[in-house]
Amino acid sequence: MKESFIYQVFWKRFQANRFALTGAAVVIFLFALSFLAPYITPYGPDDLDLYHVLLPPSAAHWFGTDDLGRDVLTRVIYGARISLLVGFVATGIAVIIGTVIGLVSGYYHGWVDSILMRFTDIMLCFPTFFLILAVIAFIGQSIWYIMIVIGLTGWMGVARLVRAEVLSIRERDYVMAVRALGARDIRIIFRHILPNALSPVLVSATLGVAGAILTESALSFLGIGVPPPTPSWGNILTSGKDYIEFAWWLTLYPGLAITVTVLAYYLVGEGIRDAMDPRLTRK
């Protein structure tokens, strides 16, 4: 009953935020679009038509065609699959690592906390994007490598947020009572502390998806991200930059897709934060 009431209060506060609802609607629409891609467009993402290259938007090709005659709308839709996959898998890896480190660091504190937080500080000192560039240059281009590397270099913020929550929660009466009853540390951490420390994790995860999508797009734009011919918003932008003076649609539509998607996730993240913290809820 208590959990049901909490969810009801959260949903009521989230619904009151029109921007968050709009962002959630855009995210759901993108998911539906990416899963139903084969049924939405009659073209394939790699279908070549050398007789119709660099055509402007028309009834036959709503977003025009690229330098190989491929339908840009189709490639943007299929590119959503890659961007969303990278965003969720990379963020999932980062959230798992950051949550575990934050829980252990905050619960045990002392020398354990000092070692883990100094390691986190060292990781934060490295320029993340250039670290990703260096790693991918050594291990090669692959969508799976990109997801793993982004995840392994994006957990530090989650770890610090979780640690801060755990440091507060571990001193509360119900945790001390469970500890006095002889419960093991693992049970206390994952049964009693983790559920109450998930609020910043959910917000960070939502914003992390947007960050991972931006990172993947930037890597693909530089030519070291998702390898062609697999379509992603970044490499669609790359293929269009040489024709930007007379084929503006090659950069406009994938650029808009990245902008709208990232903005939608930020709106959802802000909405979740406001709904979980009554002090921030808009009246």
Q: Which helix (H) or strand (E) holds 212?
A: helix 198-221
CA distances from 233 to 2, 132, 217 (A): 43, 19, 6
Q: What per-residue confidence (pLDDT) applies to 179?
A: 80
| Residue keyed to tokens 């001390």 | 176
Largest Cα separation within the chain, whole Å, is: 77
pLDDT at 25: 92
Contact 258, 216 (CB under 8 A): no
- Whichever domain contains 93, its CATH number is 1.10.3720.10
DSSP assignment, residue 65?
A: B
Any idea what DSSP says for residue 227?
Answer: P
For 68-84, letters b (16+ CB in 10 Å) and e give ebbbbbbbbbbbbbbbb
Q: Consecutive sets of 10 residues in the chain, 283 residues long: mean pLDDT of each?
A: 59 82 91 87 84 86 87 90 88 93 88 90 83 79 84 90 88 82 83 82 86 86 79 85 84 90 90 70 45
Q: Which domain holds residue 34?
A: 2-280
Closest by alpha carbon to 146, among 84, 89, 61, 229?
89
Residue 54 burial by CB count (10 A; 0-12/13-18/19+): exposed, middle or buried?
middle
Looking at the 3D structure of the chain, how many domains does it have?
1
Determine the length of the chain: 283
